[in-house]
Amino acid sequence: MAIEVNGKTYETDEEGYLANLNDWEPEVATAMAKEDGTELSESHWEVINFLREYYEEYQIAPAVRVLTKAIGKKLGKDKGNSKYLYELFPYGPAKQACKYAGLPKPTGCV
Amino acid sequence: MENEGGIKKFMYVNRKAPYGTIYALESLEVVLIGAAFDQDVSLAFLDDGVYQLAKGQDTKGIGMKNFSPIYKVLGDYDINKLYVEKESLEARGLTLDDLQEIMYEDEDDDWEEKPSIRVVSAAELRDLMDEQDIVLSF
Amino acid sequence: MAMLHTVNKSPFENRSLDSCLGRIKDGAAVLLFEDAVYGAMKGTAVAGKVQSAMEKSKVYVLGPDLRARGMSEDQVLDGINVVDYGGFVDLVTEHDSVQAWL
């Protein structure tokens, strides 16, 4: 599978996650969100950028409870809770935000 | 077997070096998936498995994913018992200093950072294995 | 004529390195790569065996495999040459034949 953004084709897996992390560009996230009917706000980007940095450091897309805890530590308690994150990413903060960030599907999503 | 509220003692036993075979990475993936089930999980590293925790791994030259940083987040998944067998380290000329530092935050002690790696003797490891409800070998 | 022997299994869980070292002719070369690179390190239980093999043959180890495993070049046994992929190819072409101890 693949998605097309500004005339460029990006390979994805069958669930729409980017096949190659290094292909990612911000426009890819914008296009994926648009397909889900979401316009990305500053708050979305904060989480997306956080996830990219997290992956860079630890080589893993975190499970939702780990993401929530880590966000709380980095961005404050008002953001490190499921209510806030689910409002931003109603399809599941780990799954949906990881997808926009070009990461693989979090390990442990059963 | 003793069993408190359905929580079982799981031990993942790692005996293979990383990269040469897929066992180390497969084990880590199963550990992370299993972490969703809130069990009492520990990891044992013996024989060539101790090499999985070697510090300073850099896989750029072999074109494989360096998965060693993942061990550092195990604490966030509430996995903080990493037993490393002393005899296996010694046979390989290694000490605790050759392994990467892996910490966890102890929620029962004001979230103090503590090391997850515990070097144990073969005899201690034998007893630890004996206490488990389920042992998974990789 | 000189032969290049390659070993890619850990000496701690497989007998390939032992088998190889016991059957090489003087002047042969041995290249350790993949999990066999652990056999090139100082202070291990197999270091003595590797050192005695080095009296009669040249031992090489593949650098990228060392680095991937976090094994430092300073800890490689004295006298073992660290080579990269280009060096691996050179060794193959410089020797008359290659035997892989799988």
- pTM summary value: 0.91
- The pLDDT value recorded for residue B3 is 53
Q: Where are the domains of chain C?
A: 3-100
DSSP SS3 for C39: helix
Distance in angstroms (rounded) separating the CA atoms of residues C30 and C4: 6
- The pLDDT value recorded for residue B36 is 83
**Domain B9-137 classified CATH 3.40.1260.10?**
yes
- At A48, give phi and psi (nearest 5°): -60, -45
Q: Where are the domains of chain B?
A: 9-137
Show which residues on chain B lie within 8 Å of chain C, measured between beta carbons: 15-21, 47-48, 51, 54-62, 64, 66, 68, 91-94, 98, 100
- The number of beta carbons lying within 10 Å of the beta carbon of residue B113 is 10
In a domain, A105, yes or no: no
β-strand partners of B106: B112
With CB atoms and an 8 Å threshold, state whether B69 touches A66: no
- At C97, give phi and psi (nearest 5°): -155, 165
Select from A110, C19, C14 the least CA-distant residue to B37: A110
Domain extent at residue A69:
2-100
Going by the DSSP 8-state scheme, the letter that residue A25 receives in this structure is: -
Looking at the 3D structure of chain A, how many domains does it have?
A: 1
With CB atoms and an 8 Å threshold, state whether B17 touches C10: yes
With CB atoms and an 8 Å threshold, state whether B70 touches A57: no
In a domain, A107, yes or no: no
- The pLDDT value recorded for residue B120 is 98
- The pLDDT value recorded for residue C101 is 97
pLDDT in tens, B36-57: 888 999 999 999 999 999 999 9
Average confidence (pLDDT) over C49-78: 97
Comparing B36 with A87, the larger pLDDT belongs to: A87
Contact A106, A63 (CB under 8 A): yes
Q: Based on the residue annotation, tell me whether A98 is a catalytic residue of this protein.
A: no
Contact C16, C42 (CB under 8 A): no
Going by the DSSP 8-state scheme, the letter that residue C8 receives in this structure is: -
**CATH classification at residue A68:** 1.10.10.370
β-strand partners of B120: B85
N-term to C-term CA, chain A: 22
From B17, B60, B100, residue closest to C35, measured CB to CB: B17
Best residue in B14, B23, B48, B50 to probe C by mutation, most C CBs within 10 Å? B48
With CB atoms and an 8 Å threshold, state whether B76 touches A107: no
CATH number of this structure's domain C3-100: 3.40.1260.10
Distance in angstroms (rounded) separating the CA atoms of residues A70 and A63: 11
Select from A75, C7, A15, A70 the least CA-distant residue to B72: A70
